[in-house]
Amino acid sequence: MSAVLLSVFAVHLVAAISPGPAVLMTMRTAMTRGMARGAGFAFGVALGAMAWASAAVLGLATLFELAPRLLIALRIAGASYLIWMAWKMWRGADQPLSVAAAASAAPLPRAGLRELVRLALRGVTTQLANPKPAVFFGAVFVTLVPAHAGPLLFAAILGVVFVNEFAWNLIVARIFSLESARLGYTRLKSGIDRVLGGLLAALGIKIAAF
């Protein structure tokens, strides 16, 4: 069991670290809204990864082979969502931050439970909108899961996936929630939002095209 979990940990960690829409949105959430809200978004990203992993083990790859148009539809839907988010980011690039958020010494207001839940749901949606994890989990991940895996091993594997995704995005959120990052974002908001929006749109187009 330990050998299986170690293999899942190592292979999935590489996939979790690779740049993608979830990492970009975690960065922006932490820069604009602080560590707690970035952590809420990261929690949703980890839940989304668990959903993809569960679907892969339950036969998602086989379903896509039998119905390739389903994967195409998923790619188009996911790409559309990412491009829509990129457009919102680009369109709001010139909008100034609120006085409270822009003030370098002003602490961010405490995040409420409802807001954290909303951010977590946005993290889940962002993760599910990217079919790249579906390809990884369906083609690579399933080869690491033994055919005889019981409920306990399966739960442990999902736990490893969750910890990898959450821990990595939590590190990203921490780095970009530091005061120096917030100050830099306040000064360069327009350019940063346009760069992040452009990268998000490019990822969306790449998903749709391939």
Q: pLDDT tens digits for 119-159?
A: 999 999 988 887 777 767 766 666 677 767 678 888 888 89
Q: Taking the CA of residue 114 as centre, how many other CA atoms within 13 Å lie in the half-sphere pointing to its CB? A: 0
Across the range 70-90, mean pLDDT stands at 73
* Contact of 42 with 118, CB cutoff 8 Å: no
pLDDT of residue 83: 82
SS3 125: helix
pLDDT class for 62, splitting at 50, 70, 90? Answer: low
Measured between its terminal Cα atoms, the distance across the chain in Å is 36
SS3 32: helix
d(CA 54, CA 16): 16
pTM (predicted TM-score) = 0.74
Question: What is the C-alpha radius of gyration for the chain, rounded to an integer number of angstroms?
Answer: 18
Q: What is the pLDDT of residues 14-39, one digit of tens each?
A: 778 877 888 888 988 998 888 999 99
Structure tokens at 83: 């491009």
d(CA 118, CA 129): 16
User: Shortest CA distance to 139 belongs to which of 61, 26, 30, 50?
Assistant: 61
* Contact of 104 with 182, CB cutoff 8 Å: yes
